[in-house]
Amino acid sequence: MPASVADEGVVLRRRNYQEADRILVILTRDHGKVSCLARGVRRPRARNAAGLDLLGRAKLLLIPGRSLYVLAQARPVGAAGRGDDPIRLACAALFAEAADGLLEEGHPDPILFELVGEHAERLLDIGRPPRPELVLALFRLAAEVGYLPALERCMGCGRPLENRPGSFIPELGGVVQPPCPVPGGVSCEAATIRVLRALARGDFEVGRRLRWGPRLLSETEAVLVAHLRHRLDRRLLAADVLAQLVDAGAD
């Protein structure tokens, strides 16, 4: 076993440990998702704290241990610029939580690493609206790991979806449209279904060209959160925080 390994990583989860340490879950380029102990990073002026915020990207020097790595060095990559916008921070936390839940430890995938790194940068860029970026980030992540929702046919009768409202049913993994009975789920306007179908076809630029109205944004966000919650079989805590901030009208 090497004395140390060099890699690059994006932080997906952080947990305080003992007096001044943190345990980090990091998606790395060459080693996949790993856990590591970052000693002393909560102390003022800690040497290795830079680049270790949630979704922070850093060049790392890691020492292999029995159950987790030990962080020997971290140097940030790129500009921070996340600001203090609570909506942006909640969107970043939700993307990190979803990525952490969807990705297994120890399975390196350079394409997934670059996808997560790209969307981490976009979500933290104060020049971009965070919630549309979150929708695109979650959709691309779900597509890359093979968890796309079914958006071509009604899940009730199998007929092609039409240009009319419906409901996304997480348990079915897709949309049901009347006249089929609609058993709850996330209500979707026709425009929402059109956008979701375009994203499912890989047209992610449509999301950047759109003028996102409040209803379209809320429905697409709700569909993705419901879909991922069902796939992961657990709550996404950051989604609850984001919903509370949006309901409260946080800037």
The string of pLDDT tens digits covering residues 79-114 is 655 678 999 999 999 999 999 999 999 899 999 999
Average pLDDT over residues 129-151: 94
Residue matched to tokens 């430890």: 105
pLDDT per residue over 7-29, tens digit each? 999 999 999 999 899 999 999 99
Question: How confident is residue 204, by pLDDT bands cut at 50, 70 and 90?
Answer: confident
* pLDDT of the residue at 65: 86
- CA pseudo-torsion sign 84, 100, 116, 34: positive
pLDDT of residue 1: 52
Is the pLDDT at 2 greater than 70? The verdict is: no
- Is residue 251's pLDDT more than 60? no
Residue 197: predicted pLDDT? 92
* Extended strands (E) in the chain: 5-17, 21-28, 32-38, 57-63, 69-76, 166-169, 174-176, 186-188
Domain(s) of CATH 2.40.50.140: residues in the chain: 5-76
Q: How many CA atoms lie within 13 A of 73 on its CB side?
A: 8
Cβ neighbours of residue 81 closer than 8 Å, sequence gap 6 or more: 124, 125, 126
State yes or no: pLDDT of 250 exceeds 70: no
Q: Which fold has domain 86-248?
A: de novo design (two linked rop proteins) (1.20.1440)
Cα-only R_g, the chain: 20
Work out the average pLDDT over 44-72. Answer: 89
Give the model's pLDDT for residue 203: 86
pLDDT at 189 over 80: yes
From the list 9, 17, 110, the residue with the least C-alpha distance to 51 is 9
For the chain, give every residue range classified as CATH 1.20.1440.120.
86-248
Q: What is the pLDDT of residues 35-56, one digit of tens each?
A: 999 999 998 877 777 789 999 9
d(CA 62, CA 69): 6
Q: Amino acid letter at 177?
A: Q
Burial of 233 (0-12, 13-18, 19+ CB in 10 A): exposed
The pTM of the full predicted model, rounded to 2 decimals, is: 0.93
Instruction: Decide which of 3.20.20.80, 3.30.1380.10, 3.20.20.70, 2.40.50.140 is the CATH code for 5-76.
Output: 2.40.50.140
203 and 58 Cβ atoms separated by less than 8 Å: no
Buried b (16+ CB within 10 A) or exposed e, 200-222: beeeeeebeebebeeebbbbbbb
